[in-house]
Amino acid sequence: MPGSSVPATISVRRVLLWSHALVVTLLLVLLYVMTASGPQADANIGAGAVSLVLLGLGLPWTPLLWLVDPQTLDSMAPVIRALMYFGPAVVNVALHAAIPSLIKRMRTV
């Protein structure tokens, strides 16, 4: 409509990308808040549930963790261990952002 201030179209891909990035970011922040209090006497079930969701969002890269001996993960720095567990979810957000632009470039060639 002429004179309308509403954008003509909103890209579904862009909405999905931002939703994906927002979910991963919120889960990472939630996990950080749950584990920032330090070691606890009992199991932190909430952090475990959030971790499982993040591992799921990191598929298909998270099964690569099965190739690593669990005892070697225990001896690593906590930051490296967290990157190995939750980095795949962040990688998937980056791939989600990069692949559409790469496809667009390939189509114009």
Domain ranges of the chain: 12-108
More confident residue, 32 or 9: 32
Q: Beta-carbon neighbour count of residue 5 at 10 Å?
A: 5
pTM to 2 decimal places: 0.76
Q: Is the pLDDT of residue 77 over 90?
A: no
Provide the CB-side half-sphere exposure for 6 (13 A, CA). 4
- Name the average pLDDT for the chain: 83
pLDDT band at 7 (very low <50, low <70, confident <90, very high): low
Cβ atoms 20, 93 nearer than 8 A: yes
Q: For the chain, what percent of residues have pLDDT higher than 90?
A: 23
